Amino acid sequence: MSDALVATTRLTGPAPEVGVTRDMVRRGLIVAPLMIVVCGFVWGMNGAYSSAYAIAIVLLNFTLAATLVATTARISLGLMMGAVLFGYLIRLGLIFLAVFLVKDTGWISLPALGTTIIVTHLGLLIWEMKYVALSLAHPGLKPARQ
């Protein structure tokens, strides 16, 4: 495929990343109460508040990433590639900003916040690997068994 063709080609089919992200957010909401209770037990109420804030950051990060890819892929693949590269850096900056803005508030527990951000990101990605189809015939989530 020539460079000009990649820059002007766009995807018009379904966006599997949106379905995968929707599934991850659903799973994140299922496990969120457990994470909040554990952090509350270890770090007190500030740990519970921090954990809830961290889970919101992670789920928003995943949703923003999928939206960015799905939206830009419909415009052009070149734009999508740029959005993936620079979107990652922008999303990292937004996570930094979200933590920076609350780091000195009385309700935050930085160990709970950091632990929840890391565990939730990695945990949801690893958990979702079980449900993603690694096939071009079924991009996105595996089809339901009948």
pLDDT tens string, the chain, 146 residues long: the values are 555 555 567 767 677 788 888 889 999 999 999 999 999 999 999 999 999 999 999 999 999 999 998 888 888 888 888 999 999 999 999 999 999 999 999 999 999 999 999 999 999 988 888 777 665 555 566 656 65
Q: Which domain holds residue 119?
A: 15-129
**Considering its fold, how many domains does the chain have in total?**
1
Q: What is the largest CA-CA distance in the chain?
A: 57
What global pTM score does this model have? 0.82
Residue 1 in any domain: the answer is no
Residue 36 in any domain: the answer is yes
Residue 139 in any domain: the answer is no
Radius of gyration of the chain (CA): 18
Residue 5 in any domain: the answer is no
Residue 116 in any domain: the answer is yes
Query: For residue 73, what pLDDT is reported?
Result: 85
Residue 50 in any domain: the answer is yes
Residue 137 in any domain: the answer is no
Instruction: Compute the distance between CA of residue 84 and CA of residue 12 in angstroms, rounded to an integer.
Output: 18
Residue 63 in any domain: the answer is yes
